[in-house]
Amino acid sequence: MGDKQQRRRNIRTALLLLGLALLFYAGIFIAQALRSSG
């Protein structure tokens, strides 16, 4: 199933989405830090 190019594309998209998830995770702590310093 799927050739190498397909696989690379999939992994790229997946990593982008993982980055989105991590952004939301980090965002919680960043918001907290801003809130307490502000």
Partner 1 sequence: MAHEHAHDHDHEHHGPPPGLMRWVKTTNHKDLGTLYLCFSMLMFFIGGLMSLVIRAELFEPGLQFVHPEFFNSMTTMHALVMIFGGLMPAFTGLANWMVPMMVGAGDLALPRVNNWGFWLLPFAFALLLSTLFIGGGAPAGGWTMYPPLVLQTGAAFPLLIFSIHLMGISSITGAINVVVTILNMRAPGMTLLKMPLFVWTWLITAYLLIATMPVLAGAVTMLLTDKYFGTTFFDAAGGGDPVMFQHIFWFFGHPEVYILILPAFGVVSTIIPTFARKPLFGYDSMVYATASIAFLSFIVWAHHMFTVGMPLTGELFFMFSTMLIAVPTGVKVFNWIATMWKGSMTFETPMLFAVAFVFLFTIGGFSGLMLAIAPADFQYHDTYFVVAHFHYVLVPGAVFSVIAAIYYWIPKWTGHMYNEKLGKLHFWLSAIFINLTFFPQHFVGLAGMPRRIPDYAVQFTDFNQISTIGAFGFFFAQFLFIGNIMRCMARKGEKAKARAWEGAHGLEWTVASPAPYHTFEVPPQIDDAETQAAH
User: Where do contacts with partner 1 occur on this chain (CB under 8 A)?
Assistant: 1-4, 6, 9-11, 13-14, 17-18, 20-25, 27-29, 32, 36
Are the C-beta atoms of 10 and 2 separated by less than 8 Å? yes
> DSSP for 8-31?
HHHHHHHHHHHHHHHHHHHHHHHH
Q: How far is the CB of 28 from partner 1 (least distance, A)?
A: 3
Q: How far is the CB of 9 from partner 1 (least distance, A)?
A: 5
**How long is the chain?**
38
Judged by CB, which is closer to partner 1: 29, or 38? Answer: 29
